[in-house]
Amino acid sequence: MSKAFYNFIFIVIICLFLANCANRGRPSGGDKDVTPPMITKSEPENFSTNFTGREIKITFDEFIKINNIQKQLIISPPMDPAPEIMPLGSASKTITIKITDTLDANTTYAFNFGNSIVDNNESNPYPYYRYVFSTGDYIDSLSVKGHIIDATLLKPDEYVSVMLYEMDSTYTDSTVYKKKPKYITNTLDSTTTFSIDNIKAGNYMLIALKDENQDSKYQQRSDKIGFLKNPITVPTDSLYTLKLFKEEADTKIVNPRLISGEKIAFGFEGDYENMKIKITSEVPQDFSYRVTKDAKTDSLNYWYNPRFKNTDSLLFQVTNKNYYEDFKVRISEQPRDSLIIKGNPTGTINFEEDFIISANIPFDKIRKGKINILDKDSTDVSFKSKLDSLANTYSLSFEKTESNKYSVQILPDAFIDFFGNKNDTINYTLSTKTYADYGNIRINLNNAKYPVIVQLTDDKGEVKLEQFVWKHEPIDFKYITPNKYYIRVVHDTNKNKKFDSGNFLKKQQPEKISYFPEIQEVRSNFDYTIDFILL
């Protein structure tokens, strides 16, 4: 064959080779890793008995990280001081646990890591890993199970701690405030059920805490609590329901202090409406005072007049139903507040809404004749007024029609405050929408034991509208701003027209609240009828 033919064959082979290479393309990198890390070795082995060591090592087949360990890791029984866990903030193939606490004899310990262990590349979790060991001859294997509900919300908080306190000779009701429990678990962030595992037989008090500072002790000011009235006995096949609630704080005054001229702020916890503040220092004959609730803080403001001279402190006695305390408050020369008057709402006013006038200094005199309301035709609109001295608000109630405008005119000297300050001319402009801009709901209750409080709330449980109902009759909510609402009923067993929370020391559960199972979307120009069967 000719040389030209061999050259032709060579060129064809080269072209085929290059084409084959081109068709291979660039590497795609492969499928995404969705495989969680795997444990290759534990030292000592998981579920070891007669444990006497001070260090545990758990080795994985790839680099891992530990996320959100403060919430995810639950050690039961709790260790004090807490063990050192590594790595934190870095990747490693090994988790090291260094124990510094003195371990109890014949006790099973469990490290519940939740979903905190993830691989370093794709954060695939090693789900609900538990490392268990016993300082005795066997692993305790009993469990207590149940679920968490909330007294006021449809869904309870995430990361609720569930605890067992051993009912031994040292247990009292104050133990939950002072000591950590015998056993503990956590609902984590995706479930309302709980299981306390690897516990020994005995009698226990079962407690749930939304433990805000994560110290495994009950702090009334910050934590929600749930409990059973009586202890439980383990072993048990029962499923327990714990209802979380926020206790009303014990009544007391905190840190009274002068904050401006002749104005002392008495910080409070608990019930403030029945708080009595009495000055016990010697006062002049023309002395006067007022007490108002601060609009923004948990404080009662004590206003006094005239200004004290030649003294640097005042003595007070504060009392409530079951509270008594004496205080000494330092005073000094400070400028008084300037009078500020505000009106609410601004812009649009609802048909069943009052216009509220508030001031930062207590009202001393109100001249109703210097207050006028005019509609868009400049016609006088009659109104009723009501003073709330504790809130320091003055409410104007008047009939409104749709698509109207109202001018609230406040002439000079209509308001005179506690220090003699007077207002200048103030004008407010309000308007109403049409009736069709709102929705209406009629609620028919079945199986209700009266009285009840019927409420419309948002998804956070904040009350938007409510009615107190004494007897069986339709409950109408008119002119509702279009939105999504939850309907709930407070079973007002003590007839005090408010929801009463529980109390741990009194073994008192909160009043029952029933939620309508479906959220109600209120649209404009729609009327809704809801038949609510209470169980």
Choose among 484, 480, 486: nearest CA to 532: 486
Choose among 415, 393, 417: nearest CA to 303: 417
Between strands 439-446 and 355-359, the pairing is unpaired
137 DSSP 8-state letter: S
**Other C-beta atoms lying within 10 Å of the C-beta of residue 55:** 12
* Maximum CA extent, the chain: 136
Residue 69: pLDDT band by 50, 70, 90 thresholds?
Answer: confident
Task: Name residue 237's beta-bridge partners.
Answer: none
125 DSSP 8-state letter: B
Choose among 373, 369, 358, 370: nearest CA to 408: 373
What is the torsional sign of CA 257, 260, 264, 267?
Answer: negative
507 DSSP 8-state letter: T
DSSP SS3 for 13: helix
Assess contact for 482 and 522: CB atoms under 8 A. Answer: yes
509 DSSP 8-state letter: P
Say whether pLDDT at 21 is over 50: no
Say whether pLDDT at 68 is over 90: no
Q: What percent of the chain has pLDDT above 70?
A: 94
Reported as a single tens digit per residue, the pLDDT across 172-225 is 999 999 999 999 999 977 789 999 999 999 999 999 999 998 899 999 999 999
Assess contact for 86 and 92: CB atoms under 8 A. Answer: yes
pLDDT value, residue 19: 47
Question: What distance in Å separates the CA atoms of residue 315 and residue 308, rounded to the nearest whole number?
Answer: 12
Question: What distance in Å separates the CA atoms of residue 316 and residue 281, rounded to the nearest whole number?
Answer: 7
Tokens for 282?
């010697």
437 DSSP 8-state letter: G
145 DSSP 8-state letter: E
> Rounded mean pLDDT of the chain?
93
Assess contact for 119 and 33: CB atoms under 8 A. Answer: yes
Question: What distance in Å separates the CA atoms of residue 213 and residue 215, rounded to the nearest whole number?
Answer: 6
pLDDT value, residue 27: 46
DSSP SS3 for 121: coil
pLDDT value, residue 18: 47
- In the chain, the N- to C-terminal Cα span, in Å, equals 101
Reported as a single tens digit per residue, the pLDDT across 390-409 is 999 999 999 999 999 999 99
Question: What distance in Å separates the CA atoms of residue 439 and residue 521, rounded to the nearest whole number?
Answer: 10
Tokens for 281?
């220092």
In 331-364, which positions are buried (b, 16+ CB within 10 angstroms) versus exposed (e)?
Answer: beeeebbebebebeeeeebeeeebbbbbbbbbbe
DSSP SS3 for 532: strand
The secondary element (H helix, E strand) that includes residue 409 is strand 405-410
DSSP SS3 for 287: coil
Tokens for 315?
């003595």
Assess contact for 45 and 139: CB atoms under 8 A. Answer: no
Domain topology for 341-433: Immunoglobulin-like (2.60.40)
Residue in this structure with the two tokens 């809404």, named with its chain if needed: 353
Assess contact for 477 and 522: CB atoms under 8 A. Answer: no
Q: Where does 16-141 show beta strands of DSSP type E?
A: 39-43, 55-66, 74-76, 84-86, 92-98, 108-112, 117-119, 130-134
Tokens for 120?
């370093």
Task: Name residue 253's beta-bridge partners.
Answer: 268
User: Is the domain defined by 437-533 classed in CATH 2.60.40.10?
Assistant: yes
Question: What distance in Å separates the CA atoms of residue 309 and residue 312, rounded to the nearest whole number?
Answer: 8
DSSP SS3 for 160: coil
pLDDT value, residue 23: 44
- CA 534 to chain CA centroid, Å, is 26
pLDDT value, residue 30: 53
Choose among 119, 289, 148, 297: nearest CA to 228: 148
Reported as a single tens digit per residue, the pLDDT across 286-325 is 999 999 999 999 999 999 999 998 899 999 999 999 899 9
Question: What residues does each domain of the chain span?
Answer: 39-134, 145-244, 252-330, 341-433, 437-533
Domain topology for 39-134: Immunoglobulin-like (2.60.40)
> What letter represents residue 374's amino acid?
L
The hierarchical CATH code for the domain 252-330 is 2.60.40
Say whether pLDDT at 20 is over 70: no
HSE (CB half, 13 Å, CA atoms) of 285? Answer: 0
pLDDT value, residue 5: 46
Question: What distance in Å separates the CA atoms of residue 209 and residue 152, rounded to the nearest whole number?
Answer: 15
Question: What distance in Å separates the CA atoms of residue 244 and residue 223, rounded to the nearest whole number?
Answer: 10
Tokens for 274?
């029945």
Reported as a single tens digit per residue, the pLDDT across 418-471 is 999 999 999 999 999 999 999 999 999 999 999 999 999 999 999 999 999 999
Strand order in the sheet with 475-480: 475-480, 439-446, 527-533
Tokens for 507?
């073994």
Domain topology for 145-244: Immunoglobulin-like (2.60.40)
Assess contact for 465 and 477: CB atoms under 8 A. Answer: yes
